[in-house]
Amino acid sequence: MVTVSVKWQKEVYPAVEIDTSQPPYVFKAQLYDLTGVPPERQKIMVKGGLLKDDADWSKVGVKEGQRLMMMGTADEIVKAPEKGPVFAEDLPEEEQVVNVGHSAGLFNLGNTCYMNSTVQCLHSVPELKSALTEYNQLGRSNDLDHSSHLLTVATRDLFNDLDKNVKPVAPMQFWTVLRKKYPQFGQQSNGAFMQQDAEECWTQLLYTLSQSLKSPNSSGSPDIVKALFGIEFDNRIHCAESGEESTETETVYSLKCHISQEVNHLHEGLKRGLKSELEKASPSLGRSAVYVKDSRINGLPRYLTIQFVRFFWKRESNQKAKILRKVDYPLSLDVYDFCSEDLRKKLEGPRQVLRDAEGKKAGLKTSEKTSSSTDGDVKMTEAEESSSGSGEASKTTQEGVLPEKEHHLTGIYDLVAVLTHKGRSADSGHYVAWVKQENGKWVQFDDDNPIPQREEDIPKLSGGGDWHMAYICMYKARVVPM
């Protein structure tokens, strides 16, 4: 790190840190936060001329305590007359966000689109934002390591910045802490940070939050992240050769859509992912044998994450390759067929209530058998489930929502976010987030550039060429009050 002062117009910023391991564009993003001058407008005088976005700091020769001169005009906010209509530009930034209809974009700090797109998708989960806000009150538990605590705080602060700004945000602190917690995201090649896998970033971030957002005040220590994203499986493991059979339960945070020549639709890929083969030692045979693993969902989350398994290791070229095959996915997904018999019984009541409600809208006669819920109903409030994985709801409700009726899962989910990848290799290309806003509108977050989209165009990100194709889809549970 090198500390310099920066003079801009009549202002002097006395202690600005430069991380010389990062490109100058990152330094310009810092100055944007301080001055409001966008990086493309900044002219910073250094030895040999103007500072370029991709210059080598060792050749620039910036010294500790040096004063740099910056020129450029800041983004201006149009002022309304003293008496007259109030323009959107005159409102506080928090109100401008509401007026615009979406939150801010994120500056790319050097191949960080994988991180930006992950953050934008998870930022769209209001229950996760509420849990992070309460992290102030919950505090850090004794068994939580310091780096996880810092990453949780950085996530909370970045989410807040996105909600309060209409101008792009530079996620400097978050990126710095992420690299310290998970050094893989700090890998460099030829002096530049390398592209990373968005799914790995998503998984690592959720794992950290699952550790930090457990309430130390609760004896049961409910896992909020597990309640929001955890999928409970009942697995039957059978060996045809020996006749051995066992069962186990496990919790995962995403369903895998395996892609092959026979898979044309998400439903087919998910179905294939529920059955797999594994080789392990057989006690009765005294040697290795092939076992078949059959899985069924026995506990559903508030948000269902699906990963399209598009990347695989290509031995001949010694690099990750990508499956470009088109796989269609729906705006609404029903996972009833993938559930265990026990869970299906619990879903029947809420599903009938949903059918009746939809039938009523269409002017059809509704069923009278579902006026009351059964003992086995799957219950879920708008805020969080208990950590039991059974679907039993906790008493906590989302801020501002009165706990008049409990909400029950139906097994039907609606698409709320898509993370796409463009390119033919996981180590290159470009990631983008497509997120449904609270107002129902879709926005494409291409780093610092949010672009409104039509909902009918979202399912077209299904692959089959070099255009953006879905890599991760996030669905939100459709619930009914009972």
The yes-or-no answer on residue 408 being catalytic is no
Among candidate residues 300, 235, 480, the one with its CA nearest the CA of residue 382: 480
Active-site residue, from 238, 239, 265, 430: 430
Task: Name all contacts of 87-93 with Cβ < 8 Å and 24+ positions apart.
Answer: 93/164, 93/165, 93/166, 93/167
- Residue 257 is a catalytic residue: no
113, 201, 257, 473: the active-site residue: 113
Angstrom distance (rounded) from CA 463 to CA 461? 6
Task: At 93, list the tokens.
Answer: 């930034």
Q: Active-site residue numbers?
A: 113, 430
